[in-house]
């Protein structure tokens, strides 16, 4: 690993002081084929008071991917099968766990496999190089996301959240609201409120989940707590209270349209930039699956040049046209929870004929 900035020792010392790392000697670091297994680390600014530490553990290359716990969480586009009356409003409730990964203490034996590049611990005989070893599940470590989702599932069970009203890949989608779901450190709920209806269920459900988080040593992030609010996002999708449509917010779609036009006006583009642009369009398409058919040339092309992430390329004509068409259809990238069900079923193959 290469030191990108001289502040790396300061980052390590702050993590040690916070209890996230402990310092190890060289013989306490795991080796593979005679070479030390190290973990790169850098910090990303969250706000003026906090940083988020991201890691790149080499041990990920040695893990059996078939044995890793994989997170399984709510898939928002599956809400298309939910039916909501056209009147009233859809409100959102949310809870967020603060410093979730920092609360997931890992077993002592993992410590030697999750050591970062060394720092100088001081002068004299007691000094020398010391390697920061993770004490909690680091972001970027293979099993971390699965462990975090597992704890959230346990908390939901402890809080007795109704499983038949849950949005989850392994459960049939509920017919209507209220409905709840979770993803890693977030739990959310949707309610349909109308005159004469009973109070929304989401706030009471999530209040119980928050209590169960606290019982397991997890601190809720009260700044992100929402109780039956209108016009909120869930897992990156905006839920319109009166229109009952779900999709990327209009503001984000406007920004994506502007960004697309700026990139298409350039003669050459950095591969990483157009790769990110295609990914943004792909996420937007998830709210209107038929739009995915636009990218017939874009996906194979970006896969063929992705290994040159820092290089500049000319966008092929067919890919240019597909990005332009996707931008023009950006207003259709949403679905309605109150659309009437079609009474006709059409079956066809995928051929052009």
Q: Identify the pLDDT of residue 346.
A: 80
Determine whether 205 is exposed, middle or buried from the number of CB atoms within 10 Å of its CB (0-12, 13-18, 19+): buried
Average pLDDT across each block of 10 residues of the chain; the chain has 353 residues. List them in order.
Answer: 78 88 92 90 79 85 89 93 93 94 88 90 68 90 92 95 95 94 95 86 96 93 93 96 96 97 96 96 95 94 94 96 96 94 79 56
Q: Identify the pLDDT of residue 128.
A: 83
Rounded-to-integer distance, Cα 297 and Cα 243, Å: 34
Q: Which of 187, 192, 193 is nearest to 212 (CA)?
A: 187
For 187, phi then psi, to 5°, come to -125, 135
Q: How is residue 155 annotated by DSSP?
A: H
- 178: preceding bond cis by omega (within 30 degrees): yes
Rounded-to-integer distance, Cα 127 and Cα 119, Å: 10
Rounded-to-integer distance, Cα 204 and Cα 174, Å: 19
Neighbours of 197 (CB within 10 A): 11
CA distances from 315 to 44, 82, 270, 296 (A): 31, 40, 10, 14
The CA radius of gyration of the chain, in Å to the nearest whole number, is 24
CA 62 to chain centre: 24
| DSSP H helices in 43-99 | none
The label of the residue with tokens 């997931």 reads: 104
Rounded-to-integer distance, Cα 186 and Cα 77, Å: 17
Rounded-to-integer distance, Cα 90 and Cα 245, Å: 10
Rounded-to-integer distance, Cα 212 and Cα 161, Å: 11
Structure token digits, residue 220 = 């809720």
Residue 139 three-state SS:
coil
Rounded-to-integer distance, Cα 350 and Cα 353, Å: 9
Q: Identify the pLDDT of residue 353.
A: 55
CB 187 within 8 A of CB 94: yes
Question: What is the b/e burial string over 240-265, where b = at least 16 CB atoms within 10 angstroms of the residue's CB?
Answer: beeebbbbbbeebbeebeeebeebbe
Rounded-to-integer distance, Cα 166 and Cα 188, Å: 10
């Amino acid at each position: 690993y290469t030191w990108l900035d001289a502040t790396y020792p300061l980052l390590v010392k702050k993590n040690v002081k916070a209890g996230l790392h402990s310092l190890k000697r060289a013989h306490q670091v795991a080796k593979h084929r005679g070479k030390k297994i190290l973990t790169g680390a850098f910090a990303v600014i969250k706000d003026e008071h906090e940083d988020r530490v991201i890691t790149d553990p080499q041990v990920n290359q040695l893990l059996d991917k078939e044995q890793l716990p994989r997170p399984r969480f709510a898939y928002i586009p599956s809400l298309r099968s939910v039916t909501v009356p056209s009147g009233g409003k859809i409100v959102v409730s949310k809870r967020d766990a603060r410093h979730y990964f920092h609360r997931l203490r890992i077993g002592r034996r993992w410590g030697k496999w999750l050591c970062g590049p060394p720092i100088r611990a001081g002068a004299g005989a007691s000094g020398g190089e010391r390697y920061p070893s993770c004490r909690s599940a680091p972001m970027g470590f293979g099993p971390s996301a699965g462990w975090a989702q597992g704890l959230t599932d346990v908390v939901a069970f402890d809080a007795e959240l109704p499983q038949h009203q849950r949005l989850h890949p392994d459960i049939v989608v509920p017919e209507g609201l209220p409905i709840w779901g979770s993803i890693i450190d977030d739990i959310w709920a949707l309610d349909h409120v109308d005159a004469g209806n009973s109070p929304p269920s989401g706030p009471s459900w999530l209040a119980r989940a928050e209590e169960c988080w606290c019982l397991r040593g997890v601190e809720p992030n009260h700044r992100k707590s929402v109780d039956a609010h209108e016009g909120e996002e869930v897992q990156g999708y905006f839920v319109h209270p009166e229109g009952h449509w779900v999709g990327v917010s209009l503001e984000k779609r406007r920004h994506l349209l502007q960004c697309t036009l700026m990139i298409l006006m350039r003669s050459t583009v950095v591969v990483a930039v157009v790769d990110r642009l295609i990914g943004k369009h792909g996420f937007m398409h998830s709210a209107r699956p038929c739009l995915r058919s636009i990218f017939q040339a874009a996906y194979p092309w970006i896969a063929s040049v992705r290994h040159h992430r820092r290089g500049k390329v000319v966008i092929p004509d067919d890919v240019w046209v597909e990005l332009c068409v996707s931008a023009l259809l950006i207003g259709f990238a949403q679905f309605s929870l109150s659309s009437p069900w079609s009474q006709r079923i059409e079956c066809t193959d995928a051929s052009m004929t």
